Amino acid sequence: MISKYNNLKLGIALGIFAPFFTMLLVYIIMFWGYNLQELIDSLISKHILTKIISLCVIPNLALFFLFLNRYNYKSARGILLSTILFAVFVFITKFII
Q: Where are the beta strands (DSSP E) in 1-79?
A: none
| C-alpha dihedral sign at 55, 59, 62, 65 | negative
Residue 40 pLDDT level (bands cut at 50, 70, 90): confident
pLDDT of 72-96, one tens digit each? Answer: 999 999 999 999 999 999 999 888 8
> What are the contacts of 40-48 at 24+ separation with CB within 8 A?
44/97
pLDDT value of residue 2: 67
Query: Is the pLDDT assigned to residue 3 strictly greater than 80?
Result: no
pLDDT value of residue 30: 85
pLDDT value of residue 67: 93
